[in-house]
Amino acid sequence: MPDATGPDQIFQRALANGEILLPKCNDCGAYHFFPRVLCPHCHGAAISWERATGAGSVHTTTIVRRKPERGGDYNVCMVELEEGVRMMSRVEGISPENVVIDMAVTAFVGEAEGAPAVLFKPAEA
Amino acid sequence: MTDRLRGKSAIVGTGHAGFGEAHGLSAYDVMAQSALAALDDAGLRLSDVDGLFCTMMEDSMPSLMAAEYLGIQPRFIDGTMTGGSSFVNYLTSATMALDAGLCDVALIVYGSNQRTASGKLVTASRPPAYEAPYNPRYPISAYAMAAARHMHEYGTTREQLADVAVSARAWARHNPEAFERGPLTREDVLGARMVGDPLTVRDCCLVTDGGGAIVMVRADRARDFPKAPVYVLGSAAASSHRQISQMKDFTVTAARESGQRAFAAAGVAPGDIQVVELYDAFTINTILFLEDLGFCAKGEGGALVEGGHIAPDGILPVNTNGGGLSCVHPGMYGIFTVIEAARQIRGDAPGMQLNNIDLALAHGNGGVLSSQVTAILGSQNTL
């Protein structure tokens, strides 16, 4: 998407390049997620993009129970990023039972459903 | 709704159809049977209906489909879709339309055949783009994450969640219309198949067929019908998000705002309410809504529902028909909170009828804790 101009396109193009960009309001300075053409906090329409630090913590979590023959149980959680926004994702590298609220996690660009996606792993102590 | 509309409209008929399994019937068949039942209850005919308030799960223009099916040409249609709360929300728009003379007989109606059609939630909703890649199971993953956060912040336990389901079943056991009437213990709920931690399959509502309908008229003619009128004293809506990932506080719903405004319009307080009908899609809902509507402080919902406190012979009657957990849950349950509240006031509840009910609360939930609509209904004595 070399000519990406829409907020979804900008986010997805960055992901395809291995980067996590977050929309930030030029007027009030607050981040938001999902990407939009306006700031949902102050309704300003001047949005810029900042690279996420990747630091976050698990705000809440669940285990989707699935039969082993269909791939087994997996994690779905909400991660609160250092920038103050939350996103749905999953924590990889540990079993879903070990994903707990308030645990520190680090974002990385992985793959979900065959497309680049923001995933998380436990933060290194 | 403001206090200017207090008591300006009344429910004069309720009906339902297709509870459990409606083999061979489409969602619109069940809708139409429900409409006929409610109109029969009111002593009216379909040809009297000039206001239609309807949404369904499977179409983008369900209110038009319903009007066409019913063979009516309403003067006023509201098909606002806020999920399962829509039908409580229609109490507001129907009252406004009746009061303004935009219609004289308002029909609120819903039907679904989701159990016999698919056995799971039927919806025309598309998966949210920023959630779908992670394969949350809708809607349970959303409610599971709310429950997990509530447990984390307030020490709410799985046993307390289970007691919501046990209490609902205790009511349902008295209700011949309820789909699940067998015994259910706390251990049964805790030991059931885990589907989305911390919720087992018994923390989740039923998947049934069924439809419901409500007939409303202006208050000035409400006493001209066979059944005792049930007045809409106050109703109010609030919404906080659509996608669960946008919910600001997973332990507080917009029921706080909808409840405050509905109580203000009705001029009553939680302590005045004699029976509470809540949209219990999952056991955590009952806890959240009891807190947010002011029946207890935030964080104390678990203690309020523990043991038999909200069961028959408890301290607060909640979901006296058995709720979505044990009575009926055809995709959207909201209309049944109003129907059960109205029937408790009229004195013809299908299950355990409480004595001398004048004031009841019905609360609808839509989406994933997204839309909250509260209504307060009263008998002639409350005008």
- Right CATH for B139-178+234-382 from 3.30.70.120, 3.40.309.10, 3.40.47.10, 3.90.870.10: 3.40.47.10
Q: What ipTM score was computed for the predicted complex, to two decimals?
A: 0.96
B25: which DSSP letter? -
- Right CATH for B3-119+208-229 from 3.40.47.10, 3.40.50.1100, 3.20.20.100, 3.20.20.70: 3.40.47.10
A74:B135 CB<8 A: yes
In this prediction, residue B374 carries a pLDDT of 98
A119 to chain B: nearest residue by CA? Answer: B134
Closest CA–CA distance from residue B136 to any residue of chain A (Å): 6
β partners of residue B361: B276, B376
A39 and A74 in a common domain: no
Within 248-287 of B, beta carbons closer than 8 Å to A belong to 250
Number of domains in chain A: 2
Task: Give the least confident one: A49-53, B124-128, B218-222.
Answer: B124-128
A2 located within any domain: no
Boundaries of every domain in chain B? 3-119+208-229, 139-178+234-382
Quickly state the pLDDT bin for A3 (edges 50, 70, 90): low
Is the per-residue pLDDT at A2 higher than 60? no
A116 and A61 in a common domain: yes
> What are the tokens at A111?
């793959």
B274: CB partners within 8 A, 6+ apart: B317, B344, B354, B357, B358, B359, B360
Mean model confidence pLDDT for chain B: 97
Question: How many CB pairs below 8 Å do chains A and B form together?
Answer: 72
Q: What's the whole-number mean pLDDT along residues B62-87?
A: 98
Give percent of chain B with pLDDT exceeding 90: 95
Quickly state the pLDDT bin for A5 (edges 50, 70, 90): confident
A93 located within any domain: yes
Q: What's the whole-number mean pLDDT along residues B196-217?
A: 98
What CA–CA distance (Å, rounded) separates B287 from B328? 19
The string of pLDDT tens digits covering residues B231-282 is: 999 999 999 999 999 999 999 999 999 999 999 999 999 999 999 999 999 9
Q: What's the whole-number mean pLDDT along residues B197-220?
A: 98
Asked if B112 and B332 touch (Cβ cutoff 8 Å), the reply is yes
In this prediction, residue B127 carries a pLDDT of 83
A1 located within any domain: no
Q: Which amino acid is at B216?
A: M
Indicate the angle between helix axes B283-292 and B255-266, nearest 10 degrees.
50
Q: Is the peptide bond before A40 cis (omega within 30 degrees of 0)?
A: no
Which of A65, A74, A90 minimises the CB distance to B194? A65
Best of A8, A12, A20, A62 to substitute, by most chain B Cβ atoms within 10 angstroms, is: A62
Does A57 contact B at CB distance below 8 Å?
no
A45 located within any domain: yes
What is the reported pTM?
A: 0.97
Domain that holds residue A27: 7-51
